[in-house]
Amino acid sequence: MFLNFKIQGDGEPLLLIHGLFGSLDNLGGLARVLADQYKVYQIDLPNHGLSPRSENVDYASQAEAVMAFVDQHDLSRVSVVGHSMGGKVAMMMATRFPERIDQLVVMDIAPVTYHVRRHDNVFAGLNASKQQPMANRKEAEAKLAEHIVDPGVRQFLLKSLGRQEDGTYDWRFNVEALEANYDDITGWSNIGTFEGKTLFLKGGESDYIAAEHRDAIESQFPNAKAHVVANTGHWCMLKNQIPLRV
């Protein structure tokens, strides 16, 4: 599998991994900041963006796909920044291939199973939009709006709406595989520890990392530090508040 990617900057290699329903462009602002210090690799995860599709969305499979990308680019070690689902991919990489990870930054996700289904309305909107070919973005948003109240979520999803060869539009993520394997996405298997430099970033107004997750974080990432990005939600993207080094 060859993942779609973008590279910018010079220096030590750093990999940026987006979250669910995202693409490599989602962390573009952060990439531009980090490119002053690192050679930044932005990737589309499997089943997202322009990367290949697969029926496997478990974190072991995703971590292996990303490590294959690292090998294809002849990178012996790499720092990794992952947001949300991408943070879980990054953590799986670190615990399975610790000798290959220099620094790890996890953005607003914990190494635990989440028992709350946060995206059922999103899948409902996406499935509604796919019931007939979409002629334009306006049609797509109208279908999403039947199920998704937040306009910000709709606009985020629409970033991954792409025009097909026949002129109609479709999603650049694999809706069917992501929905069918959603328990793998919300789940987590603790397979080891990573004792390297690790930073957990928490959005100050987000509940994805909570006090009850502290033991799980400390047991799997014993040298982890934490930083709360005030006045931000799940994206924790006030770049002037985000530490660039662990």
Looking at the annotation, which residues are catalytic? 84, 234
Please state the separation of Cα 94 from the chain's center in Å: 15
d(CA 16, CA 182) in angstroms, rounded, equals 22
Sequence-separated (6 or more) residues with CB below 8 Å from residue 102: 12, 77, 78, 79, 196, 197
d(CA 31, CA 21) in angstroms, rounded, equals 19
Asked whether 37 and 13 are in contact (CB, 8 A), the reply is no
Q: What is the CB-side half-sphere exposure of residue 194 using CA atoms within 13 A? A: 29
Amino acid letter at 196?
G
CA 96-101-106 angle, 5° bins: 85
Amino acid letter at 139?
E
